[in-house]
């Protein structure tokens, strides 16, 4: 796992644990650990040179202005970019992490992915998990009978050998699914300790 590693002994935060705003004006609420933020309010107004984001966090009001730059598009029009308020990089998105602290308060600055050292960790785990899950489901649909908590029945007229083969393949996949779930949970735990 190359992208999900540790750097300077500190694990990366996943992109999915951040709110994000794209320079095109699309705001996405964090998919993970956004529980504390459910009541929060976000508003963004794009001007010619900058965007102003107003929001609430932990009962306080905040505002941040971020400079915009534009590049021409090949087929006319122009594309907007942020200048990251911290490092100045030209970026398409800025992020506000839900679980990053400065002292004992949560951070209240939108910054680029590089400044917050973000990764797409969750996506990789999730992809692996779903690959196994889909494979198992396909086997169940095509080769296995009724499935309950602790019993899988053979299909009518199916050879015992055929049944056993697919039964075992499914078992192996179920084990992988469980392992990838456990690995994910274990890795999540390392973010906040
Ligand atoms: Zn930056």
Tell me how far the alpha carbon of residue 116 lies from the centroid of ligand 1, in angstroms: 7
Give domain status of residue 108, yes or no.
Answer: yes
Give the 3-state secondary structure percentages of the chain, helix then strand then coil, rounded to 5.
30, 35, 35
Tokens 């494979």 label which residue? 135
Tell me how far the alpha carbon of residue 114 lies from the centroid of ligand 1, in angstroms: 6
- Containing structural domain, residue 27: 6-119
Question: Has residue 24 got a pLDDT over 80?
Answer: yes
- CB count in 10 Å sphere of residue 115: 17
Tell me how far the alpha carbon of residue 75 lies from the centroid of ligand 1, in angstroms: 29
- For 141-158, the pLDDT digits (tens) are 999 998 887 788 999 999
Choose one of 64, 98, 119: the last residue of a domain.
Answer: 119
CA distances for 23 relative to 18, 27, 41, 70, 144, angstroms? 16, 9, 19, 10, 49
Tell me how far the alpha carbon of residue 33 lies from the centroid of ligand 1, in angstroms: 22
Give domain status of residue 87, yes or no.
Answer: yes
Give domain status of residue 1, yes or no.
Answer: no
- For 59-86, the pLDDT digits (tens) are 999 999 999 999 998 888 899 999 999 9
Tell me how far the alpha carbon of residue 112 lies from the centroid of ligand 1, in angstroms: 4
Give domain status of residue 46, yes or no.
Answer: yes
Tell me how far the alpha carbon of residue 157 lies from the centroid of ligand 1, in angstroms: 63
Q: Which helix (H) or strand (E) holds 121?
A: helix 121-143
Residues in the chain, how many? 193
Choose one of 119, 137, 172: the last residue of a domain.
Answer: 119
Tell me how far the alpha carbon of residue 87 lies from the centroid of ligand 1, in angstroms: 4
């Amino acid at each position: 796992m190359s992208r999900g590693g540790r750097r300077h002994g500190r694990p990366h935060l996943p992109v999915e644990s951040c709110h994000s705003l794209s320079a095109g004006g699309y705001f996405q609420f964090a998919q993970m650990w956004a529980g504390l933020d459910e009541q929060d309010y976000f508003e963004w107004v794009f001007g010619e040179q900058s965007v102003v984001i107003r929001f609430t966090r932990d009962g306080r009001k905040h505002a941040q202005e971020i400079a915009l730059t534009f590049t021409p598009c090949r087929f006319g029009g122009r594309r907007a970019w942020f200048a990251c308020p911290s490092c100045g990089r030209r970026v398409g998105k800025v992020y506000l992490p839900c679980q990053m602290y400065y002292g004992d308060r949560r951070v209240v600055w939108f910054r680029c992915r590089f400044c917050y050292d973000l990764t797409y960790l969750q996506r990789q785990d999730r992809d692996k998990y779903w690959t196994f899950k889909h494979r198992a489901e396909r086997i169940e649909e095509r080769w296995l009978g009724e499935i309950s908590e602790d019993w899988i029945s053979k299909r009518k007229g199916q050879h015992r050998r055929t049944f056993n083969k697919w039964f075992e393949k499914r078992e192996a996949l179920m084990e992988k699914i469980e392992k990838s779930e456990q690995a994910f949970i274990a890795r999540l735990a390392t973010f906040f300790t």
